[in-house]
Amino acid sequence: MSFFKKMKEKFTGQSDAVTEKFKEGLSKTRNSFVGAMNDLVKNYRTVDEDFFEELEEILISADVGVHTVMELIDDLKDEARKRNIQDAKDIQPVISEKLAELLQKSDQESHLLIKENELTVILFVGVNGVGKTTSIGKLAHKFKQENKKVLLAAGDTFRAGAIEQLEVWGERVGVDVIKQQAGSDPAAVMFDAIQSAKSRKVDILLCDTAGRLQNKVNLMNELEKVKRVLTKEIPDAPHEVLLVLDATTGQNAMSQAKVFQKATDVTGIVLTKLDGTAKGGIVLAIRHELDIPVKLIGLGEGLDDLYEFEADQFVHGLFSDVLEQVEEAADSGPK
């Protein structure tokens, strides 16, 4: 069964608000990327070297990533030869299929690891300004909606106003915050938070951390110390180490991911502000080049606008216009 038929079967007839949110949130990327692909198909009647060179530029400009693009272009050339594709419009569905394959490595690892009937500890890392504290607040709200008992740990004790910012989110979503004075040892905050979480029989502890990259060695040492404290109290904690990245920063986000990946065991990515960029291809670059699953994405500023990443939803949101074109072509064809 073709990629488009699978997508049609999966999403036709659904009035799912999440499906619509993915479509709406990816509109900038879709309009830019798919629009450029449509123009490419119109400008080239045949699939040749010039066609692939321009396609390469389109993919790179969408922040799909140079290494990913090179592999993808080679794969597409092979497919074009195998399937004897010569007409440019016939390769468009193949491009969509190949991009989808890059994301659909493992559905299992894309979901958050939440312990049943035990305390789950989730550690958030990332540089300042990417939306880390906001993501923690939104995730706390999401878990509360699922009737989980949640606690926040204000481990970013260095950035001016960071503790207060987390407290504001705690009040907003009705979740307590464990804190100490500004400048305190983050590991001491985590120790207090673990003890409090245990005594209160909390389901999920969300831990904020410092995000300074001016001195990478000190920051990474602090993160290691925090992790050691958590692991000493709960042997398999933290259960998730989520790296928060700002999608609008494109390749800069990739650079940040590489730094944190070397220093700590990142288990997943939270990609914020995906609705604010036309370069949503960064999802593909992260997935393929860093082999880190994107677990949560931000598609708006509302409390409920943090979503678990679903490859099928992302692909459908990105290629929904192409899917509609394929359906229209099929409807207008010979009966």
Binding site for GTP: what residues are annotated?
Answer: 126-133, 208-212, 272-275
- Measured between alpha carbons, how far is residue 185 from residues 156, 170, 189 in Å? 9, 21, 7
In whole angstroms, give the CA distance from residue 237 to residue 229: 9
Can you say which residues are annotated as belonging to the binding site? 126-133, 208-212, 272-275
Tokens standing for residue 1: 């069964």
Residue 90, number of CB atoms within 10 A of its CB: 14
- Helix then strand count (H, E) for the chain reads 13, 8
Query: If 0-12 CB within 10 Å is exposed, 13-18 middle and 19+ buried, where does residue 161 land?
Result: exposed
Phi, psi of 307 (to 5 degrees): -120, 145
- Measured between alpha carbons, how far is residue 99 from residues 247, 322, 335 in Å? 18, 13, 31
End-to-end CA distance of the chain: 20
DSSP state of 95: H
In whole angstroms, give the CA distance from residue 183 to residue 179: 11
Omega cis (within 30) before 238: yes
